[in-house]
């Protein structure tokens, strides 16, 4: 089948057309800036949501593996983040515990000082009360030696001395009592402050411990999800290996243009070299394969099938449009046109093909990259599936079947690689995560 398809691909005259419209600034050109990952993801999601349902296809096992790999990678990121959050929660809980312990010690010290201040004030008040009673009973005529116990002094007139001494002692005791009162007020204030801080640090420590418990659960859940995803990837890869050992079926024409490429650049380039094409372009086919996958993945178009379309249109990158115009899908090359559109570089030629396919697939598409050429506008939304391109992208009545025949041959090659244990580690461009 492969050799027959190749002969048909080289011998069939494919004439393409693209609607020639007045230049219209693209959304990206109007932006005048690079999109963020979130904006890229928004456009990609919007595009993928507009894809029609595709029938079962021999390349479905590739998509299942890719989906599980993406879930695994997202779970790995979540697991790493959860581990970091858990460590932060541990540090926060530890620090909160220390702060609470310090507050507890401060509160205990404040309690001790307040208790001591209360005792001292009570003692001084008792002394003051005693002096007040004596003043009332004997007018302060107590013994000199007794008063000297309160203050030291020297008098010559015993009676007068006792009155003077009592007056000094009484005044001093009032002062001492007031000082004891102020000391207690400070101790009470320090106690209240320490009690408030203790309540706050206790509540904070409790909250941090609760957060630590939550983060522990989050980390375990993320770890379990990641481990499950790893197992699911392995199971999907086993199913893909088995699919490569079974019989091969044709990829349906009803497969949508919209979608994430399922094959890898290594699959495309390896198949191309094995098929024996003789390209006339200096750019290695590995670069083309990578560009078709990356550009397709960026815009949400099946770049792996677009690669097969380019091989058909160019006879294996050997026609004049591919050599002189970086045009790999007959864009603008009508039946009476000497050549198609010219694009500034090989990668821009690939991007132009992907962008034009997107305009065929859906009406009023949004693009991640600015349009390579403002004339890249086909019959808007005319062709949601690859089979719908027949007699529309090109005049050939078997255009769609031939494209899908070539792509089916690539799928068979890729399945054989997986059956042999190859291609599972092929690099794939990253999709911005949600």
Question: Are residues 253 and 107 located together in one domain of the fold?
Answer: no
The pLDDT tens digits of the residues spanning 215-252 come to 999 999 999 999 999 999 999 999 999 998 887 789 99
Task: Give the whole-angstrom CA distance, residue 363 versus residue 359.
Answer: 6
Query: 228 by DSSP, 3-state: which?
Result: helix
Count structural domains, the chain: 2
CATH of the domain at 211: 1.10.287.620
Q: Considering 218, 240, 275, which residue would you say is the last residue of a domain?
A: 218
Per-residue burial over 294-305, b if 16 or more Cβ lie within 10 Å, else e, is bbbbbbbbbbbb
State which residues form the domain around 104.
81-218
In angstroms, the CA 371 to CA 356 distance is 9
Residue 139 lies in a domain: yes
* 271 and 174 together in one domain: no
The CA-based diameter of the chain, rounded to the nearest angstrom, is: 143
Residue 400: inside a domain, yes or no? Answer: yes
Q: Taking the CA atoms of the chain, what radius of gyration do you get in angstroms?
A: 43
Token look-up 């080289």 returns 10
Are 272 and 412 in a shared domain?
yes
Angle at 390 between CA 388 and CA 391, to 5 degrees: 120
Evaluate whether residue 398 is within a structural domain.
Answer: yes
Backbone phi, psi, residue 374, to 5°: -65, -15
Same-domain status, 49 and 111: no
- 138 and 255 fall within a common domain: no
Domain end: 166, 201, 218, which one? 218
Rounded Cα–Cα distance for residues 366 and 370 (Å)? 10
70 inside domain: no
Nearest to 359 by CA among 378, 372, 341: 378
Same domain for 299 and 343: yes
Paired tokens of 249: 């079926």
pLDDT in tens, 27-51: 444 456 788 999 999 999 999 999 9
Q: Report yes or no: 12 and 402 within 8 Å, Cβ to Cβ.
A: yes
Residue 264 and residue 411 in one domain? yes
| pLDDT reported for residue 8 | 41
Inside any domain, residue 225: no
How many other CB atoms sit within 10 Å of the CB of residue 191?
Answer: 21
Are 202 and 258 contained in the same domain? no
- Assess if residue 69 is contained within a domain: no
174-213 pLDDT, tens digit each = 888 899 899 989 999 999 999 999 999 999 999 999 999 9
Among 364, 354, 324, residue whose Cα is nearest residue 340: 324
Name the strand (E) or helix (H) holding 346.
helix 346-361
In a domain, 365, yes or no: yes
287 and 409 together in one domain: yes
Structure tokens at 218: 């989050």
Q: What is the pLDDT of residues 80-137, one digit of tens each?
A: 999 999 999 999 999 999 999 999 999 999 999 999 989 988 988 888 787 777 666 6
End-to-end CA distance of the chain: 42
> Does 274 reside within a domain?
yes
| CA dihedral (230, 231, 235, 238) positive or negative | positive
Same domain, 187 and 313: no
- Dump pLDDT digits (tens) for 306-364: 999 999 999 999 999 999 999 999 998 776 677 789 999 999 999 999 999 999 999 99
Question: What pTM was estimated for this model as a whole?
Answer: 0.73
Residue ending a domain, choose from 200, 218, 236? 218
Cα–Cα distances in angstroms (integers) from residue 304 to residues 133, 393, 404, in the given order:
108, 18, 11
Report CA-CA distances (Å) from 257 to 23, 385, 421: 24, 5, 29
Question: What number of helices (H) and strands (E) belong to the chain?
Answer: 12, 0
DSSP-based three-state secondary structure for 119 = helix
Tell me the percentage of the chain whose pLDDT exceeds 70. Answer: 83
3-class DSSP assignment, residue 16: strand
User: 105 with 46, same domain?
Assistant: no
Residues 263 and 374 in one domain: yes
Q: Which of 141, 139, 182, 133 is nearest to 159 (CA)?
A: 141
* Confidence (pLDDT) at 219: 95
Across the range 403-419, mean pLDDT stands at 96
């Amino acid at each position: 089948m492969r050799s027959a398809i190749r002969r048909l691909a080289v011998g069939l005259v494919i004439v393409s057309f693209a609607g020639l419209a007045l230049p219209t600034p693209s959304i990206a050109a109007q932006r005048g800036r690079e999109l963020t990952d979130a904006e890229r993801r928004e456009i990609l999601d919007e595009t993928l949501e507009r894809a029609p349902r595709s029938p079962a296809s021999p390349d479905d096992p590739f998509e299942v593996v890719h989906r599980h790999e993406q879930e695994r990678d997202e779970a790995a990121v979540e697991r790493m983040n959860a581990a970091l959050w858990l460590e932060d929660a541990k540090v926060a809980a530890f620090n909160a515990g220390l702060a609470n312990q310090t507050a507890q010690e401060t509160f205990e010290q404040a309690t001790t000082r307040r208790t001591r201040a209360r005792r001292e004030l009570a003692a001084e008040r008792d002394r003051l009360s005693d002096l007040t009673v004596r003043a009332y009973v004997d007018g302060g005529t107590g013994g000199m030696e007794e008063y000297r116990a309160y203050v030291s002094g020297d008098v010559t007139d015993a009676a007068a001395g006792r009155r003077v001494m009592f007056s000094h002692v009484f005044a001093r005791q009032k002062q001492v009592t007031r000082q004891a009162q102020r000391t207690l007020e400070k101790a009470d204030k320090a106690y209240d402050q320490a009690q408030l801080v203790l309540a706050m640090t206790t509540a904070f420590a409790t909250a941090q411990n609760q957060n630590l418990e939550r983060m522990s659960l989050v980390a375990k859940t993320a770890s379990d999800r990641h481990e499950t995803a790893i197992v699911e990837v392995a199971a999907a890869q086993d199913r893909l290996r088995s699919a490569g050992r079974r019989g091969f079926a044709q990829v349906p024409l009803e497969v949508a243009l919209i979608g994430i490429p399922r094959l890898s650049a290594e699959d495309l380039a390896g198949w191309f070299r094995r098929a024996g094409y003789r390209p006339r372009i200096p750019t290695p086919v590995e670069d083309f394969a990578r560009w078709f996958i990356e550009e397709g993945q960026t815009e949400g178009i099946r770049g792996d099938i677009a690669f097969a379309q380019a091989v058909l249109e160019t006879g294996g990158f050997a026609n004049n449009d591919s050599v002189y115009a970086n045009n790999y899908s007959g864009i603008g090359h009508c039946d009476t046109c000497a050549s198609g559109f010219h694009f500034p570089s090989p990668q821009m030629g690939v991007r132009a093909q992907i962008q034009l396919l997107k305009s065929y697939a859906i009406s009023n598409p949004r693009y991640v990259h600015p349009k390579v050429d403002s004339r890249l506008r086909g019959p808007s939304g005319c062709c949601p599936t690859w089979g719908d391109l027949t007699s529309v992208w090109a005049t050939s009545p078997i255009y769609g079947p031939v494209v899908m025949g070539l792509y089916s041959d690539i799928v068979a090659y890729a399945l054989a690689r997986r059956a042999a244990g190859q291609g599972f580690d092929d690099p794939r461009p990253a999709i911005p995560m949600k």
